[in-house]
Amino acid sequence: MSIKPGWQGRYYEDFTVGDVYQHPLGRTVNETDNTWFTLLTMNTNQAHFNEQVGAGSEFGKPLVVSTLTLAIAVGQSVIDVTQNAFANLGLDDVKFTHPVFAGDTLWTESVVLAKRESGSRPTAGIVTVHSRTLNQHGEEVLSFKRSFFVHKHGAAGAESRFPVGKKPLPVPAQAAEAAAGEGSGA
């Protein structure tokens, strides 16, 4: 049997200026996400967790705290842009362009703006992307630029840490028979 690795993410060499990545996982924000994140981060603005205050606002309901929106957007982008990064260098030009409410589904996409070799780390490069987040209606709710250090292919820091099992993985009988048949020239 052969091991089929899952998606390993992009390395420095895999980025091309102008490439667009539509990150595959959407995320619906609910009231609990908003309340917990707001209180966990010690944000005391009741517009995010008090129904009465939200109802009395110009929006008529509580707003999702903007830092949660940013955290979700950055998280959505990891699969495509920073799976092999080892340090964020900056978030710039962060703009919250449309309110987000519980029940909204967020989607993020990124375009590669720049890349360069690292002057101090020969096994890494620096990549800058512009990301934007859309709600379910296609309205942009957030945009930002992000720069990060990312490993090059073969960098020691990018090696897989997947452990070797002490016992072999059970293989279904049909798969074992098929593998045996392939090796016998049948």
The pLDDT, as a whole number, for residue 150 is 97
Per-residue model confidence as pLDDT tens digits over 136-165:
999 999 999 999 999 999 898 888 888 888
Q: Report all structural domains of the chain as residue ranges with CATH numbers, in order of start.
A: 16-154 (3.10.129.10)
108-134 pLDDT, tens per residue?
A: 999 999 999 999 999 999 999 999 999
pTM recorded for the entire structure: 0.86
C-alpha distance across the termini of the chain, in Å: 17
Distance between CA atoms of residues 44 and 29, nearest Å? 20
pLDDT, position 161: 83
